[in-house]
Amino acid sequence: MARAQYTEIHCKSALNRVRGMPFEFSLNPYRGCLHACHYCYARASHEYLGLDAGQDFSSKIFVKVNVAAVLRRELGRASWGRQAVALGTATDPYQAAEGRYRLSRACLEALADFATPGTVTTKGTLVVRDVDVLQHLQVRAGAGVSLSLITLDEGVWRALEPGTPAPRERLRALRRLADAGVPCGIALAPVLPGLTDAPGALEDVVRAGADHGARWVWAGAVHLEPVVRDWFIGALERHFPRAVPAYTRVYGPLGSEAGMRYAPRAYADRIARQVGELKARYGLAERRRPARVLESSLPGSPGATGTAPAASCASPVAQQMALPI
């Protein structure tokens, strides 16, 4: 991986309105991500900056140094309705830069001060540093953390998520959050056809999450825009060459605008069905929203809980689900 270059920038707005999601607004203190996940859909956004979706995305990180101050101004408007805000919808709010800049922490503090529910999605174990803020936010308005975890297989993890903490470290972070009373769960997304979608591999992740205090799990199949597909297939050629033909057949060949952006509906439905059965088996919910806004967007509405049971590790080689055409 290339050495990271950090560029400090000033943003004009902090909140982004979102449609069709379980939250109304998103917030991203950073652009680009040192976690360098080869499949990350947010890679495409770096092209808007005149940079590439490959090495530039994971090495040229833009830091919105004033984001917390701008957020406070937006939350302080009379028109603000205290809708749920999600951190980490594009790039990870607890990547390495957060250790120095503490912007995600400052944003969570602002949400708590303005009684605004907030959620975090991250692969970063640094999130446990902010347990105190998350506890305060949970009391004030509602909070939730989804630890992103798509596999327990260390070979897949090292090849496709080279800048992230190991799966077992993420599970330990999940347990620390749960023990501290912070509502938390697993983001099992994206599911990668032929690599992480074996029934046993999916169950291993769900079971491990339940065993480490997860209250929920949500999942989704991989989404590959052409520029992300090209970078991802390059990684597959190096690490999992036998998987390449199925991806190019469905998502299109390198350099082409042809092919699908999303997994075929039949495949996505099958994954949703399978994960739904696993959630029922291990007593987990489908939830990405803060507990306080699960039934109602009004602060003070009741939350929900759910726990369950042991983990193992699976190989991505055998018993994988076929990717339909």
Residue type, 88: G
Site of tokens 């109602």: 296
User: Is 321's pLDDT higher than 70?
Assistant: no
How far is CA 270 from its chain centroid?
21
Tens digits of per-residue pLDDT, 12-67?
Answer: 999 999 988 878 899 999 999 999 999 999 998 888 888 888 999 999 999 999 99
CATH of domain 5-293: 3.20.20.70
Nearest to 219 by CA among 237, 196, 242: 196
Kind and range of the H or E element at 185?
Answer: strand 184-191
pLDDT of residue 102: 98
**74 three-class SS:** helix
DSSP 8-state code for residue 162: T
Residue 27: strand pairing partners: 87
Cis before 93? omega within 30: no
Q: Indicate the pTM of the whole model.
A: 0.87
Closest by CA position to 124, among listed 160, 84, 91, 158: 91
Handedness of CA 308, 129, 201, 315 (dihedral sign): negative
Percent of the chain, pLDDT > 70?
Answer: 88
pLDDT the model gives residue 312: 32
End-to-end CA distance of the chain: 34
Higher pLDDT, 132 or 44: 132
Domain ranges of the chain: 5-293
Distances (CA, A) of 56 to 8, 104, 170, 225: 16, 22, 26, 17
Q: What is the Cβ-side half-sphere exposure of residue 180, based on CA atoms within 13 angstroms?
A: 24
